[in-house]
Amino acid sequence: MKAVKNIPLAGPVLNGNEKKYVMDCIDTGWISSNGKYVTAFEQNFAKYCGVKHALSCANGTVALHLPLLAYGVGQGDEIIVPTFTYIATANAVTYCGATPVLVDCEPDTWNMNPKLIEEKITDKTKGIIVVHLYGHPVDMDPIMEIARKYNLFVIEDAAEAHGAEYKGKVVGSIGDVGTFSFFGNKIISTGEGGMITTNNEDLAARMRLLRGQGMDPERRYWFNVVGYNYRMTNMQAAIGLGQLENIEWHLEKRKNVANAYIRELSEYKDLFTIQTEMPWAKHSYWMVSILLTDKIKSSRDEIMMLLGNDGIETRPLFYPMHQMPPYYEESTYPSADLISARGFNIPTNAVLSESDITYICERLVYHCEKNT
Ligand SMILES: *Cc1c(COP(=O)(O)O)cnc(C)c1O
């Protein structure tokens, strides 16, 4: 039987000046990585985050690679990362020849547990990468305290959390560096794209150098170091600027979607729970995520399949790094293991209608109740 509905999990909403700005790039021929939109996107993004420097780049993965390179991370170094994240966080460390050292997550926010960090620090540890998972900010104060105590840098991987706030501060402005992704399903998008935020002038200069193949800023086509081509194009930045102009609208819409889910689903705590929003947090709701309780007898994948048959697209939560071949460990990370096995994302995008939300909730409750 064919489902009547077809509700996608995510997708970009390009309803501002995006088209106008891209057409301007084409009309003027400024389609490569120089141009006014790159500059404007960077300046406006820095302003939005309240930082001195924002550097656009090719994607959210190289946005992590550049600061690690700029800090001189290399062979033999260790970087603390959460096991429960998207693989790009760990891969950026591996690109440098360094080792990602995994830490389990908190049972309620699902973010890296600050209480479990210190036991993983050795004399090889150079820095910490935190991830604001699914748009929920990390509890940054204890992280910054540990970093100061052991003289470590802190990178905030905010790929999923544009506009999220920790105690009133926008993410990406709290650690030494913040990194963002503008992939097609993220809160705002440029198709593919990334951004790095920092207040550290020297670090920004070093990252700018490495982003542009390492060309000496004082001497064209002279190279003192091996750099990379990690630049963003003017066309991507044109889309990004259009998106950024409307970011408050995007965040507001997502918040409304999340609130509607919470309203309709919170009376079923025996069946499932939703990633908890802490009192100090402003969640930016990249994805609304739910966790099935052990009252549900079917597997998470079976519930997702049933929803799929109803025309509702869902997505399993990330597999923890320690379960997969590149980062496999015998050790268990109990919170990440449990959440990853029982959790999934439900459709979250700025244009999801009230009636679709009601339908999704109704089908979700139906399948869960039938499978207790
Ligand atoms: C999406 C994402 C990235 C990588 O971004 P790309 O633009 O896809 O390279 C990095 N970290 C996290 C946590 C992400 O969700």
pLDDT tens digits for 65-90? 999 999 999 999 999 999 999 999 99
Residues with Cβ within 8 Å of residue 365, at least 6 apart in sequence: 265, 268, 271
C-beta separation of 206 from 212 below 8 A: no
For residue 137, being part of any structural domain is answered with yes
Asked if residue 12 is part of any domain, the answer here is no
**99 and 237 share one domain:** yes
Is residue 188's pLDDT more than 70? yes
> For the segment 253-295, what is each residue's pLDDT rounded down to a tens digit?
999 999 999 999 999 999 999 988 999 999 999 999 999 999 9
* 31 token code pair: 């389609």
Ligand 1 probe mutation, 9, 57, 136, 181, most atoms within 8 A of CB = 181
The secondary structure of 296-311 as a DSSP string is: --S-HHHHHHHHHHTT
Is 304 found in the same domain as 235?
Answer: no
Q: Which amino acid is at 33?
A: S
Residue 371 scores a pLDDT above 60: yes
Q: Are residues 104 and 236 in the same domain?
A: yes
Residues 6+ apart with CB under 8 A from 144: 154, 174, 175
Residue 256 and residue 238 share a domain: no
Is 305 inside any structural domain? Answer: yes
Q: Is 262 found in the same domain as 227?
A: no
Query: Which backbone phi and psi does 179 adopt, to 5 degrees?
Result: -130, 145
* CA 63 centroid distance within chain: 11
- The total domain count for the chain is 2
CATH number of domain containing 327: 3.90.1150.10
**Residue 309: is its pLDDT beyond 70?**
yes
Quick one: pLDDT at residue 4? 79
Q: Within 13 Å and on the Cβ side, how many CA atoms surround 350?
A: 20
Let me know whether 206 and 252 are in one domain: no
Q: Give the single-character DSSP code of 55.
A: E
Q: Which amino acid residue places its CA nearest to atom 2 of ligand 1?
A: 159
Residue 93 structural domain: 18-245
Ranges of beta strands (E only) in 259-361 are 272-274, 281-282, 288-292, 315-316, 343-346
Q: Which of 9, 84, 89 to mutate to test the pocket of ligand 1 (most atoms within 8 A of CB)?
A: 89
Among 286, 291, 323, 335, CA closest to 60: 286
Question: Given 229, 245, 261, which residue is the final one in a domain?
Answer: 245
Report pLDDT digits (tens) over 98-120.
999 999 999 999 999 999 999 99
Last residue of a domain, one of 245, 279, 308: 245
- Centre of ligand 1 from the C-alpha of residue 131, in Å: 10
User: Tokens 């819409």 identify what position?
Assistant: 253
End position of a domain, from candidates 189, 215, 245: 245
List all residues 6 or more positions away from 40 whose beta carbon is below 8 Å from its beta carbon.
Answer: 237, 241
Same domain (yes/no): 234, 255:
no
| pLDDT band per the 50, 70, 90 thresholds, residue 56 | very high
Q: What is the pLDDT of residue 276?
A: 82
Do 209 and 69 belong to one domain?
A: yes
The helix or strand, by DSSP H or E, that contains position 123, with its residue range, turns out to be: none
Residues 268, 203 share a domain: no
Residue 105 covered by a domain: yes
Q: Which ligand 1 atom minimizes the distance to the CA of 59? A: 7
What pLDDT is stored for residue 2 in this prediction?
59
pTM over 0.95: yes
Across residues 12-17, what is the average pLDDT?
97
* pLDDT, position 340: 97
Give distance in angstroms: CA of 129 to centre of ligand 1.
13
The residue whose CA has the least distance to atom 13 of ligand 1 is 86
Q: What is the pLDDT of residue 74?
A: 98
What are the pLDDT digits (tens) for 143-176? 999 999 999 999 999 999 999 999 999 999 999 9
Instruction: Note whether 193 and 266 are same-domain residues.
Output: no
Provide the pLDDT for residue 31.
97
239 Cα to the center of ligand 1, angstroms: 18
How many whole angstroms from 182 Cα to the centroid of ligand 1?
A: 8
- Within 6 Å (CB) of ligand 1, which residues are found? 59-61, 85-86, 88-89, 131, 157, 159-160, 181, 183, 194
316, part of any domain: yes
Radius of gyration of the chain (CA): 21
Residue 355 alpha carbon to ligand 1 centre in Å = 31
115: Cβ–Cβ under 8 A, 6 or more apart, which residues?
142
Which positions ≥6 away from 2 have C-beta within 8 Å?
none
Q: Give CA–CA dist 249/255, Å, rounded.
A: 10
**Nearest C-alpha to atom 7 of ligand 1 is from which residue?**
60
Q: What is the DSSP letter of 275?
A: P
Q: What is the mean pLDDT of the chain?
A: 97
